[in-house]
Amino acid sequence: MEWTSILAIYALFWVVSAFVLLPFGVETHDEAGIAKVPGQAESAPANFRPGLLAKRATGLAVLLTTLYVLNYAFGWIRAEDLIFWGPTAG
């Protein structure tokens, strides 16, 4: 597998990881006991930390990319293994 392909797969995993991890560890102003600004949405985060989110997304993306590349190299799960119903090849 080319290094550019691995980089592209990593970038895709990073973006998906960031969106999956986005709601974890965030509190609203009511949960944190902080006064809200007039006109602020009830669901606005009080402690959004993009740096921590980026670190967590990076770690998860590295793990997922490593598993993907190892699976590509060793063939642990093939496309044929993901067919759960329907006609089977004879």
pTM, two decimals, is 0.82
Backbone dihedral angles phi then psi of residue 28, each to the nearest 5 degrees: -80, 170
**Euclidean distance between CA atoms 14 and 53, whole angstroms:** 11
Positive or negative torsion for Cα 41, 46, 50, 52:
negative
Find out whether 64 and 79 touch, Cβ atoms under 8 Å. Answer: no
Domain ranges for the chain, please list them: 3-78
In order of 3, 15, 32, 47, 89, the CA distances from 29 in angstroms are 44, 27, 5, 8, 57
Q: What is the pLDDT along the chain (90 residues), one digit of tens a residue?
A: 899 999 999 999 999 999 999 999 889 999 999 999 899 998 899 988 999 999 999 999 999 999 999 999 999 999 888 888 877 665
What pLDDT is stored for residue 81 in this prediction? 87
